Amino acid sequence: MIILHKDHSAYEPPEGWCVPDRYLWETISGFYYLKFQEIFEENNLDYKLTSWEDYPNVEGEYFIGRFAHVKEDKELHQKYYFDLERKFDNIWPDKLAYELYDNKPEQMKYLDSKGYQKYTDYQVVNSIEELCDIVEVGKIIKSHTGASSDNVFFITEKKYCEREELINLISECYSNTLEKYFPAIIQPFFEGPMYKISLTNSSIWAKVYNYKHDFSNPLNFGYGHPNLIWSERSTTTGHTSGNNYMVSADELKNLPNLFTYLDIKKEIGTPNLTFDVVGDKILEFTYLFNPTIPLVDTYGSYNIDTSEFETIKDNERYIAYQQHYSVLKGFNLV
């Protein structure tokens, strides 16, 4: 019996959010659990759909759940996850992936502990006092938690190194308070385009995000000011511009450190992992990521099973379901 956790309603896409006409909205951006349900039914796999109200009184051989970073959900899954992890020998996400997810300082420390120090450049600060002591112009500050730059700011001027200015910036971030913002990391501003390098049990592919940065306000860095809704932030920063593209098979083949990321994924033992990379530096990684929409007819992929670089024809179902199939493949269920 597979226990499938129903996604928290907080992950329902915002009203008015859209995907390109060549894709079906429900397929690309629907709830995670619905896609698992469809695969289970297609393959006659026995499962039970559960929600937070059922825990911890659930029994089964496998547990699959979407535990992510939205506050309402995080408060719940932090209460239950470790009881579930002790109960289920087969659980996704597993303990290590869960502990590293949405925790930037722990991700960097983990990479260092496994001998990947050359791919990291960061300092951890645990309080506003520590931040004030070492912050400099040109540094990027990131809370341990958050997504889409909602807890990130860039020190553009000396005045933003002052305690009160830093407190004001943090108060406008997603975490809102000093207590929730720390621990945080400080990183340099890495020059160049960002690559999202995604890996599953079956393949590796990458997309370039060469969006423009707005340096007019520290909070506008990356996807833009956290007080704007995500769709507006991504549009104003050029997130959907033509400079963002899926890499070809030849470009993927020539990306530095591609197999290092595969080694890290194997170390963590998760079926899915995506890295945000600039140059040879890892900014962060996640076991849970939105489907990458190519907007092109073909793109490059590395086939892990055959050890070959391939050109993949754009396929909506493959794009939308590859994480789910990878999780189930990891459990030998498909």
Q: Tell me: the pLDDT tens digits for 45-97? A: 999 999 988 887 889 999 999 988 888 888 899 999 999 999 999 999 999 99
Write 49-54 long-range contacts (CB < 8 A, 24+).
49/4, 49/6, 50/3, 50/4, 50/5, 50/6, 51/5, 51/6, 52/8, 52/76, 52/80
118-188 falls under which CATH superfamily? Answer: ATP-grasp fold, A domain (3.30.1490.20)
**Alpha-carbon span 46 to 228, nearest angstrom:** 43
Q: Tell me: the pLDDT tens digits for 155-171? A: 999 999 999 999 999 99
Residue 245 structure tokens: 């593209």
pTM exceeds 0.85 for this model: yes
Mean pLDDT to the nearest integer, 236-261: 82
Assess contact for 214 and 277: CB atoms under 8 A.
Answer: no
Assess contact for 89 and 68: CB atoms under 8 A.
Answer: no
